[in-house]
Structure formats: structure tokens, C-alpha cells
Amino acid sequence: MHESSDEHMLERILNNNEDLAAHNREHFDAAGLLCINLMSAPGAGKTSLLERSLLDLSKHWQCSVIEGDMVGELDADRLRKLGVDVSQISTGKSCHLDAQMVARVVHSKALDKLDYLFIENVGNLVCPADFPLGEHKRVVLLSVTEGDDKPLKYPVIFHNCDVVLFTKCDLLPYVNFSVARATQYVQDLNPRAQCFAVSIVTGQGIDDWLNWLSSAYLQSQKNMPVSI
């Protein structure tokens, strides 16, 4: 009986989150922006990737970031130095962002002025996979220092993403990581996912990533509902 009650409570939490995520998505669609949920284990390089991406994107597009961390604003402060609007969500003991947390921030932003909204989720390969936030695209970062078997160990987050970025590829000569093998593991789980090998240090793959962002934004504009 106790186990059944716990399962029912979890199901209710997930269903409520789905409803709120759909509500957030309606706001994003109405504003005509592209929302991207960045997920990874701690230290895979989400903030570094955002820093590099925003240096390019903010020259031509209006960008904003929702930064999720359990405590502190170190990553948020790094991004604020770029002159980009950044909102911090401190989750306390929670290992992921949820749609309600994002909704509170969304209602305080002038969304109609934005082209891109990036959500940097809490570093975790498990919990964020079950909590959509209303995003249009899910991007998972996998550092080459973590091992190429992570898609096999954490299949849910890779099964439900649009892009996988293999990060810190400048370290490939020093670690036992096969980009080809990791790509195959991802594609076995999720054939529609695109994979890019990138390095912030050398610039490897960054243009491919930025081109994907641009294409995703242009495609989103075609799919946005038309106001009458």
C-alpha cells in the first residue's frame, strides 16, 4: 500500500509538471522565441558553452538565460559579465529545475523581446530527464572525461534529447573516449539526435553548433502560430 501511494504521488507530481511545462511552452510560442534546455552531469561545460555561444549570438540576437544551481550564483555571474540578461534559480536540495520554478521567472521577463532563451539545468543526468520545462529543444552535454558509456548508463536523458554535445574534445588524446562509439550509443537510443564533438579551448565544432542553433531558430519561426 505504501509503495502504491508513493507511485501515485510521483505520477501526480510528474503530471502537474507536464501541465505547467505546456503552459510555459505557450508563453514561449506566443513570444516567438526559441527555448533550449541544457542538461549534463556537473562539470561537463554547460556554462563555458553558453559563454562561447553568447559571444556570437548576442551580436545579432536578443538572448536571455535562466541559470539553475543548487546554491550560489557563480555561473550566473560569469554570464552576466557578457552583458546578457541572466535570472538565477537556486533549487536548494532539489537536483533539477521544474516547470513551476521556470514559470515564476518567465512571468517576470519581457519574453516578446527575446529570440533565444537558454535554461541551464542543474548538473545531473537523471532527474532533469523526467521534468520538461516547456523547452523547444533539449541539449545534453557529455564530457569526454566522463566516459563514452554514459548513454548506456543514463538512457532516459539521451533518449529524449535533440542534440548531444561531446565536450572538452581537446582532451581526447589523454582519455579513453571514442566519439564514434559514443555517437553510436546515442543513435541506437535516439536516431533523431544530432551529435557534435566540440572544444571551447580549440574551437572545434563550435561553428557546427552555432549553425544548428541558427537553423533551429529559423525552423521554430516557421512553426510558430500566426497571430490574426
Domains, the chain, ranges and CATH? 2-223 (3.40.50.300)
pTM: 0.92
In three-state secondary structure terms, 174 is helix
- Judge contact between 42 and 123, C-beta under 8 A: yes
Pairwise CA distance, residues 80 & 67, whole Å: 11
pLDDT score recorded for residue 221: 86
Strand 34-40 to 137-143 pairing = parallel
pLDDT score recorded for residue 2: 52
Written as tens digits, the pLDDT of the chain (228 aa) is 455 677 777 778 888 999 999 999 999 999 999 999 999 999 999 999 999 999 999 999 999 999 998 887 889 999 999 999 999 998 887 889 999 999 999 988 999 999 999 999 999 999 999 999 999 999 999 999 999 999 999 999 999 999 999 999 999 999 999 999 999 999 999 999 999 999 999 999 999 999 999 999 998 887 766 543
Q: Dig out the grid coordinates for 14 from the structure.
A: 510528474
Which class for 120: exposed (0-12), middle (13-18), buried (19 or more C-beta within 10 A)?
buried
Q: Dig out the grid coordinates for 54 from the structure.
A: 553568447
Which residue bears the cell 550564483? 73
Pairwise CA distance, residues 220 & 214, whole Å: 10
Q: Give the dihedral of Cα atoms 79, 83, 89, 92; nearest 10 deg.
A: 40
Distance from the Cα of residue 128 to its chain's centroid: 9
In three-state secondary structure terms, 32 is coil
